[in-house]
């Protein structure tokens, strides 16, 4: 077995291990025995004696026993246990590379590792490892073929090898896109290991501190304006749900808790249509697995396109799926930027817990003498923004009062929940219906992909108040959040991650349908048939199909002639010669006085030399080709071309004849 084959085997094993390591799910202790693989392959490449089969057999049994211990007691995870075991087997095998069959076992083991890794991770690193694996595995099994044929070197096969690598990558992409997807599993329960974050129908004041420190990406949102101006990169309020009832320091979403005003919408041909309002914004959201069924958006929803067959939308605008999703979810939502009109009774938005006299007094003081609800709301918002300090650690000063009162009168420090709660309660004490809105405030904009990166720490609460018949948004939280400054490289990497998550990890049957639609109608026409005339745009579609078919037939012709014969046959046909006559006979048919006789004689002479010579002379061929072109032009009624490389040909002819 040549050392290069052992080296490739080592690399395939390494990539297999790497695919598991990049998941970050393994016990770091496994790296110690895993790294012994290098010693094994070093010995194999150097041709040193390999381990005795009794030794490898015994150690394999030990590894198997270790697997049971690991899977059921140590890691308590079968997949992680199998991953550990595969790394150990790789190490063992590296000391036992004797027969040509051994590398094939290593390749197979690496393939299993790749499958295990695909279950343990969704990261972009998997994509990089996967590409590396394709290149190596193609090389490795190609080399196995050569080994079987007894060919010692791969050098003569480099061109087909690289072509095959390219075709494998291309076909992998095609198969990936076209393989049918099922919406559910056939057998068993899926092992989902996605990111989860909390978003429930009740929130206790002060419970968001941990979330506000979490940099995990929750979603990526692409926004495109559809008529109305929109400034990309400006903060974007992505609403989730609204809370109406405040009791015992806890906000409760009555609609979600009791399913009171939520209405079910089913998907139609183009998606789920909520209203016929104007579509101002297009938002494409890739939502990570969340411990919530909520869908986030900005504005008022008009239409939703997604895999979901049905959704629920409350009067407050909380959009949700029938159940929580354990997988990444992508949806496109069209919204209008017009404020929601106030509908129905507003009693629940004026609900107040008892004992808020000081709050009411403060609200009245802040509102001053104005009677306009809009003025009052703006005054309260401005007061809170200007007189309180943003803090993620608002320690309580007086535990005998409610957290809101403690925030308003004692600590004067807090984060969005405190601000929003305080404003809602203050507005309610002033008789203005208000509600708390939770969601995310997207502030991180990636200019490489033109999308917002939304993290857990962007979780936000703000206020909606019923003013002048409309629900208007107020945000009393001062914008003291730290400046987001990320390097271009990190932003670019995030862009790659988004594309990976969107087009690979999150590829769905919905995408398949879109691609199928695109393939069926690849050309979008900017014109329409005149009224009363038939629409002939479809005529364009068969053209590329026919062109491709003709090209394929031409390329795959069974008896495609080499150029030497083809040139001669063409000239013979042009001169009206029968297919059965030879070059000499063709020449005999032409009188010597014919203006083309000289050229034709040389052409026929060269044809004989090139056609029946075992080796092709390039100079002769160039001359032959030049004569062919010249004759062809002349036979079409043009003058013979003077551009014949005479000099070099004559010199070489002198040497060769």
- 167 versus 543: smaller Cβ distance to other proteins: 167
Quote the distance between the C-alpha of residue 576 and its chain's center.
61
**Smallest distance from other proteins to CB 588, Å:** 29
101, 144 in Cβ contact below 8 A? no
DSSP 341-383: EP-S--GGGG---S--HHHHHHHHHHHTT---HHHHHHHHHHH
- 182 versus 519: smaller Cβ distance to other proteins: 182
407, 414 in Cβ contact below 8 A? yes
| CA gap 443, 416 in Å, rounded | 15
Alpha-carbon torsion angle 203, 209, 215, 216, nearest 10: -30
**Smallest distance from other proteins to CB 623, Å:** 20
509, 518, 519, 600 from 514: Cα distances, Å: 9, 6, 9, 59
The encoded tokens of residue 243 equal: 């809370």
**Smallest distance from other proteins to CB 349, Å:** 42
Helix axes 618-635, 563-574, angle to 10 degrees: 20
136, 15 in Cβ contact below 8 A? yes
Q: Which string of b and e fits 415-428 if b means at least 16 CB within 10 Å? A: bbbbbbbbbbbbbb
Which residues bind to other proteins, rule: CB under 8 A? 104, 108, 111, 114-115, 117-119, 121-122, 126, 130, 133-134, 137-138, 141-142, 144-146, 148-151, 156-157, 160-161, 164, 167-169, 171-176, 179-188, 190-191, 327, 504-507, 555-560, 562
- 19 versus 222: smaller Cβ distance to other proteins: 19
170, 178 in Cβ contact below 8 A? no
- 20 versus 465: smaller Cβ distance to other proteins: 20
The residue assigned the tokens 């051994």 is 102
Max CA distance (Å), the chain = 124
**Smallest distance from other proteins to CB 176, Å:** 4
| CA gap 316, 301 in Å, rounded | 11
- 116 versus 454: smaller Cβ distance to other proteins: 116
Beta strands in 64-134, from DSSP E residues, in sequence order: none
**Smallest distance from other proteins to CB 118, Å:** 3
Rg of the chain on CA atoms, in Å: 37
**Vertex 26 angle, CA 21 and 29, to 5°:** 100
| CA gap 520, 514 in Å, rounded | 10
**Smallest distance from other proteins to CB 316, Å:** 33
**Smallest distance from other proteins to CB 625, Å:** 16
- 38 versus 507: smaller Cβ distance to other proteins: 507
- 113 versus 446: smaller Cβ distance to other proteins: 113
**Smallest distance from other proteins to CB 586, Å:** 23
- Nearest Cα neighbor of 607 from 565, 553, 550 is 565
- 469 versus 614: smaller Cβ distance to other proteins: 614
- Nearest Cα neighbor of 451 from 393, 501, 416, 408 is 501
**Smallest distance from other proteins to CB 285, Å:** 18
**Smallest distance from other proteins to CB 79, Å:** 12
The encoded tokens of residue 210 equal: 């941990």
- 107 versus 451: smaller Cβ distance to other proteins: 107
Q: Return phi, psi of residue 562, to 5°.
A: -70, 155
434, 466 in Cβ contact below 8 A? yes
- 5 versus 471: smaller Cβ distance to other proteins: 5
**Smallest distance from other proteins to CB 190, Å:** 6
- 558 versus 636: smaller Cβ distance to other proteins: 558
**Smallest distance from other proteins to CB 408, Å:** 50
Quote the distance between the C-alpha of residue 131 and its chain's center.
15
The encoded tokens of residue 60 equal: 């394999």
- 539 versus 555: smaller Cβ distance to other proteins: 555
């Amino acid at each position: 077995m040549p050392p290069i084959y052992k080296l490739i085997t080592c690399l395939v094993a390494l990539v297999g291990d790497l695919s598991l390591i990049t998941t970050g799910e393994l016990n770091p202790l496994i790296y110690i025995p895993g790294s012994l693989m290098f010693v094994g392959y070093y010995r194999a490449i150097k041709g040193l004696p390999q381990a005795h089969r009794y030794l490898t057999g015994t150690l394999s049994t030990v590894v198997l026993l270790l697997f049971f211990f690991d899977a059921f007691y140590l890691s308590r995870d079968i997949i992680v246990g199998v991953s550990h075991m595969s790394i150990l087997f790789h190490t063992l095998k590296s000391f036992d590379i004797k027969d040509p069959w051994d590398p094939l076992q290593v390749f197979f083991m690496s393939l299993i590792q790749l499958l295990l890794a695909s279950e343990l991770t969704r990261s972009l690193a998997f994509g990089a490892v996967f590409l590396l694996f394709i290149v190596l595995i193609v090389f490795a099994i190609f080399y196995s073929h050569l080994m079987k044929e007894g060919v010692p070197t791969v050098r003569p096969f480099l061109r087909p090898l690289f072509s095959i690598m390219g075709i494998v990558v291309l076909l992998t992409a095609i198969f990936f896109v076209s393989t049918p997807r099922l919406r559910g599993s056939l057998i068993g329960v899926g092992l989902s290991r996605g990111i989860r974050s909390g978003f429930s129908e009740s929130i206790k004041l002060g419970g968001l501190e941990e979330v506000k420190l979490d940099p995990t990406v929750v979603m990526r949102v692409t926004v495109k304006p559809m008529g109305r101006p929109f400034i990309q990169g400006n903060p974007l309020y992505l609403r989730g749900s609204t809370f109406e009832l405040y009791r015992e320091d806890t906000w409760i979403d009555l609609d979600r808790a009791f399913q009171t005003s939520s209405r079910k919408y089913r998907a139609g041909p183009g998606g789920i249509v909520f209203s016929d309002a104007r579509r101002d914004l297009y938002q494409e959201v890739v939502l990570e697995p969340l411990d919530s069924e909520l869908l986030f958006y900005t504005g008022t929803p008009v239409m939703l396109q997604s895999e979901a067959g049905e959704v629920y939308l409350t009067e407050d605008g909380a959009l949700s799926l029938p159940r929580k999703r354990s997988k990444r979810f992508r949806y496109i939502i069209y919204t209008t930027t017009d404020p929601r009109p106030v509908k129905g009774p507003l009693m629940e938005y004026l609900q107040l817990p008892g004992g808020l006299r000081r709050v009411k007094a403060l609200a009245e003081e802040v509102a001053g003498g104005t009677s306009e609800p809009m003025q009052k709301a703006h005054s309260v918002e401005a007061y809170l923004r200007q007189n309180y300090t943003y803090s993620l650690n608002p320690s309580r000063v007086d535990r005998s009062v409610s957290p809101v009162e403690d925030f308003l009168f004692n600590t004067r420090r807090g984060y969005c929940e405190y601000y929003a709660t305080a404003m809602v309660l203050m507005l309610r004490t002033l008789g203005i219906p208000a509600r708390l809105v939770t969601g995310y405030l997207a502030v991180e904009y990636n200019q490489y992909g033109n999308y917002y990166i939304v993290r857990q720490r962007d979780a936000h609460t703000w206020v909606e108040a019923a003013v002048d018949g409309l629900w208007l948004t107020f945000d009393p939280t001062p914008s003291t959040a730290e400046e987001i400054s990320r390097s271009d490289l990190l932003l670019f990497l995030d862009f790659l991650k988004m594309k990976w998550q969107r087009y690979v990890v999150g590829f769905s049957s919905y995408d398949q349908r879109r691609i199928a639609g695109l393939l069926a109608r690849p050309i979008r026409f900017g014109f329409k048939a005149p009224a009363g005339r038939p629409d002939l745009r479809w005529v364009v579609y068969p053209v590329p199909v026919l062109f491709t078919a003709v090209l394929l037939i031409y390329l795959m012709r069974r008896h495609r002639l080499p150029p030497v014969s083809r040139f001669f046959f063409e000239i013979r046909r042009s001169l009206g010669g029968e297919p059965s006559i030879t070059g000499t006979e063709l020449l005999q048919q032409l009188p010597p006085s014919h203006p083309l006789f000289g050229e034709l004689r040389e052409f026929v002479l060269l044809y004989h030399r090139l056609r029946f010579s075992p080796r092709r002379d390039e100079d002769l061929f160039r001359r032959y080709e030049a004569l062919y072109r010249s004759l062809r032009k002349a036979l079409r009624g043009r003058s013979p071309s003077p551009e014949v490389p005479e000099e070099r040909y004559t010199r070489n002819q002198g040497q060769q004849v």
